[in-house]
Every structure is written in C-alpha cells, then in structure tokens.
Amino acid sequence: MTATTNRQGPGPLVPPAKPSLLYRPEFRQAVYQILLVVGLVAGFWAIAHNVSENLARQNIASGFGFWNRTSGFDISQSLITYNNQSTYGQAFWAGLFNTLLVAALGVVFATLLGFIIGIGRLSSNWLIARLCGAYVETLRNLPLLLQLFFWYFAVLKNLPGPRQSIVLPAGATLNVRGLYIPAPVPEQGFNAVLIAFAMGIVASIGVYMWARRRQLATGERFPVLWTTLALILLLPGAVYIALGQPLGWEYPVLRGFNFQGGIPIQPELMALVVGLSTYTASFIAEIVRAGIAGVPRGQREAANALGLSSGLTMRLVVIPQALRIIIPPLTSQYLNLAKNSSLAVAIGYPDFVSVFTGTVLNQTGQAVEVILLTMLVFLTISLITSAFMNWFNKHIALVER
C-alpha cells in the first residue's frame, strides 16, 4: 500500500538525484520483510484461531492440566521409579530417560563399529577393505525401520522361550524375553574397592600429566598406558581380594513365567540398539574413511620417514588431523541416531515417543500439547548435543601456526 502511494514520484523530502523510493533496495527489503512477518503472524494466528475454535466448539480439553494426573498405565522398563499410580509427568521423564539410554548405548556402539569399519575400508588388505565396503553399501541402502523389524521380528523372535533358554557363560541367559545377566550385589566393604578405583583414576590422571610435562621438557617417553591400566585395574583388584571379595552376584533364575533376578535386557532394547548402531555405523564408517583419506599423504610419509610405526603414525599423526574433518559430520550422525531412536515405537520399546507421544497422547487425547512438547524435547536434545560437540570440536581442533 505504501508502495502504490509513492508511485507518483519522489516525495518532497527525497532529493531528486536518488532513485524513486520503490527502486531503493533498503525500502524494498523493508517491505519484503514486513510482508513476511505479516504473513507469518497471520498464518500462525489463523492456525491458533482454528485450533482453539475447533477445541472449544467440541468441548475438547486443552492445556497442561494432565501433567499431574495419574497415568494409570505401566511401562515395561523405567530408569526412574514409575508405576501405574504415577503421573503423566513422571511417564514423560521415564520415557525420556529410556530414549537417552538407547541414544547413549547406540552412540557408543555405532562409534566403535563405525571406526573399525571405516579404518577397515582403507586397509591394505584387499579382502578386508572389500568386506567393509560391502557392509557399508548394504546397510546404508536399507531403511532403518526395515532393519529394526528384521532384528526384532525375524531374528530375536526366533529365540527359544524362557523354558528352553540358551545358557551363556558367566550365568547369563538368553531367550525370547530378553537377555538376563547376573547383577552385582555389593556386600560389606565393597565401598573400599570403589574408593580404590576412584583413587586409581585420580592417580592415573596425575601420572598422565606428569609424564606429559616430562616428555615436553626432556623428550623422554613414559609408559603411561601400562601404568594407568595397572593403577585403575590392579589397585582396586588388590583391595577386592584383600577384603575377601565383597561382591556377590545375583543370578537370573526361572521362576513362574519368566526369569527373575539379574539385570534383564529387553529384546526390544537389544533390537533397537543393534539396529541403530549397525545402521549408523555404516554412515560413520564413510565419515571416518573420508576423514582419514582427507589427511594429506605427505603427513603419513613424513611420519614414516621419522621412523614411526604404522600404529603410531595412525595414532599420533593421522587420527588427530582426521578428527578435525570427522567431528562435524559425526555430530550430525549422533543427532540422527537420537532422532532415529524414535522408531522404537514400531517395535514396542518404551522410548519417549512411544510412551509420551504414543500412550500419553492416546490417553489424554491432547494432541496439540503433546506433539509440541515432543518437538521441544527433541529440539533441546539437538541443541545440547550440537553445543557439546562444537565445544569438543574447538577443543581438539589443531591450532594452525
């Protein structure tokens, strides 16, 4: 509207030498932006208006009043205290922690596997390189959901029932209901072992710092790895034996329908972790390969010329530089993994989406609130992960001289 009134020509305040207001970029940009804002506000207003009208007309509940109401349903696995007398709010947290658990496990396994496969693809061994290549090309070209179904419905479902369980070493048991591993039960005096363990870690850090300083000053190397391993493992081990092994084990036993005792790991969790980590590993492998390949040949040759072994070349020269290339895309793979963990809903693992966006939404019927909260949670996870990985990236980035 402003534009049309100005079409007649420059206003009295505008010097004639300047182009007409309509043709000035600043003016146009302002108009575009105002239009955009108006459009967005109108759009959001229309949506909000429709939603509130739709809800009010049909007398549909809204708001977050449900948060403190009793949920009335159970969750098969929860890291926090939760039962069917808990509130919807507690169900929210129970689901969220289950998601974080899967994401954490998935990140660890996917990284390990991804690095192994990625380095394997560059192996001088022709067969190993091809095998790793085949792994990558197979897994990343299949939908994750299909892989989850495969692991859950086709593989794990073929395990025997509880009464014909597969007995694994060390008292563990595997059947269609999951993997049961013995649970450690600390007895009198076990705290001393924990304290020894903590002391071992502290001492190791001290040794590491001292050795580093000495190496910088004198150039002499100190066998840090062996010393720290001894400190962390042998020290608490010695205390453990000295105190008469104050740690009992609770073994899973078949009682009634299921195994009781021990630490049960649901098949849903197993399928999800295996599926997520093998899938994500295929992407991480590619990133690792590209990262290592991105380190200039000269670096490797120089390290060889200095007489470093191939292991040391990898550890001290190639990997630190490759990490600079690897970290940013690796971050987005971690985020993808966290987001993909929401597919748990399809195989019955009680993750956040399944518990909150599934059951809570269904029981309360408050779609708008629940979905908005879900998105907020994932956005928060994304932001925190990105922030951490950015910090980490800055921390390890080589200082260019």
Partner 1 sequence: MEKGNFMKRATKLFATAAAVALGTAGMASAQTLDKVKKQGTLSCGVNVGLAGFSAPDDKGNWTGLDVDYCRAIAAAVLGDATKVRFVPTTAKERFTALQSGEIDVLNRNTTWTLGRDSSLGLSFVGTNYYDGQGLMVKKSLGVKSATELGGATVCVQTGTTTELNLADYFRLNKLEYKPVVFEKADEILQAYQAGRCDVYTTDASGLYAQRLQMQQPDEHIVLPEIISKEPLGPSVRQGDSQWFTIVRWVHFALLNAEEAGITKANVDQMTNSTNPDIRRILGKEGEFGKGIGLSADWAYQAIKQVGNYGEIFEKNVGSGSRINIARGQNSLWTKGGLQYAPPIR
Partner 2 sequence: MTSTTADLRPPRSEVGVVGWLRKNLFSSPMNAILTVIGIWIIWTVVNAVAHWAFANATWDGTSGKDCTWPGAGACWPFIKAKFSQFMYGRYPEPQRWRVDLTYVLAIIGLVPLMIPRIPGKLFNTIYMLVFFPIAAFLLLVGGYFGLPYVPTELWGGLLVTLVVASVGIAGAFPLGILLALGRRSRMPIVRWVSVGFIEIVRGVPLITVLFMASVMLPLFLPEGMTIDKLMRALIMVALFSAAYLAEVIRGGLQAIPRGQFEAADALGLTYAQKMGLIVLPQALKLVIPGIVNTFIGLFKDTSLVLIIGIFDLLGIVQLNQTDANWFSPSTGMTGYVFAGLVFWIFCFGMSRYSLFIERRLAESDKR
Partner whose footprint covers residue 354, from partner 2, partner 1, none (CB < 5 to 8 Å by kind): partner 1
Q: In this complex, which beta carbon is closest to partner 1, that of residue 8 or of residue 81?
A: 81
Q: How large is the greatest C-alpha to C-alpha distance in the chain, in angstroms?
A: 98
Q: Select 114 or 162, whichever has its Cβ closest to partner 1.
A: 162
- 343 interface partner picked from partner 1, partner 2, none, CB below 5 to 8 A per type: partner 2
Please name every residue paired with 166 in a beta bridge, in sequence order, or none if there are none.
174
**Nearer to partner 1 among residue 256 and residue 296 (C-beta):** 256
Q: Indicate which of partner 1, partner 2, none lies near residue 37 (CB less than 5 to 8 Å, by partner kind).
A: partner 2
Nearest approach in angstroms of CB 358 to partner 1 is 5
Pair of tokens at residue 339: 């987001």
The listed partner (partner 2, partner 1, none) that binds 397, CB under 5 to 8 Å by sort, is: none
Binding partner of 350, given partner 2, partner 1, none, CB within 5-8 angstroms per partner class:
partner 1
Which is closer to partner 1, CB of 54 or CB of 310? 54
57 or 297: CB nearest partner 1:
57
Strands (E), 129-280: 166-167, 173-175, 178-181, 183-186, 247-250, 253-255, 258-260, 263-265
CA distance 51 to 60: 10
| Least Cβ distance, residue 9 to partner 2 (angstroms) | 21
Judged by beta carbon distances under 5 to 8 A according to partner kind, the member of partner 2, partner 1, none in contact with residue 145 is: partner 2
Q: Which residue, 142 or 195, has its beta carbon nearer to partner 2? A: 142
Q: How far is the CB of 315 from partner 2 (least distance, A)?
A: 16
**Residue 368 near residue 51 (C-beta atoms within 8 A):** yes
Asked whether 243 and 192 are in contact (CB, 8 A), the reply is yes
Closest to 128 measured CA to CA, from 141, 115, 140, 118: 118
Three-state DSSP at 18 gives coil
Judged by beta carbon distances under 5 to 8 A according to partner kind, the member of partner 2, partner 1, none in contact with residue 126 is: partner 2
Query: Would you say 161 or 248 has its CB closer to partner 1?
Result: 161
CB 200 within 8 A of CB 231: yes
Q: Which is nearer to partner 1, 119 or 361 (CB)?
A: 361
Q: C-beta of 154: minimal distance to partner 2 in Å?
A: 4
**Phi and psi at residue 249, in whole multiples of 5°?**
-125, 135
Binding-site partner at residue 191 among partner 1, partner 2, none, CB < 5 to 8 Å by type? none
Short-list 328, 349, 337, 348, CA closest to 378: 337
The one-letter amino acid at 148: L
User: Binding residues for partner 1, per CB under 8 A?
Assistant: 39, 42-43, 46, 50, 54-55, 57-61, 72-76, 84-85, 153, 157-158, 161, 176-177, 255-258, 260, 267-268, 345-348, 350, 354, 358-359, 361-363, 365, 367
Output the smallest distance, CB 237 to partner 2, in A.
Answer: 30
Neighbours of 360 (CB within 10 A): 25
Q: Which does 161 bind (CB under 5 to 8 A by kind): partner 1, partner 2, none?
A: partner 1
Count other Cβ atoms within 10 Å, centred on residue 244: 9
Distance CA 389, CA 210 (A): 28
> What distances in angstroms separate CA 318 from CA 23, 62, 114, 392, one per listed residue?
55, 57, 17, 18
Cβ distance 270 to 157 under 8 Å? no
Q: Is the dihedral of CA 186, 192, 198, 204 positive or negative?
A: negative
Task: Report the interface residues with partner 2, using CB under 8 A.
Answer: 29, 32-33, 36-37, 40, 47, 50-51, 53-55, 57, 123-128, 131, 137-138, 140-146, 149-150, 153-154, 157-158, 335, 339-340, 342-343, 345-346, 353, 357, 361, 367-368, 371, 374-375, 378-379, 382-383
> Which CB atom, from 200 or from 267, has the smaller least distance to partner 1?
267
DSSP-derived secondary structure letter, 70: B
Which does residue 289 bind out of partner 2, partner 1, none, counting CB within 5 to 8 angstroms by kind? none
**Are the C-beta atoms of 61 and 366 separated by less than 8 Å?**
yes
The smaller minimum CB distance to partner 2, of residues 212 and 315, is found at: 315
From the CB of residue 163, how many other CB atoms can be counted at a distance below 10 Å? Answer: 8
CB of 89 to partner 1, least distance (A): 17
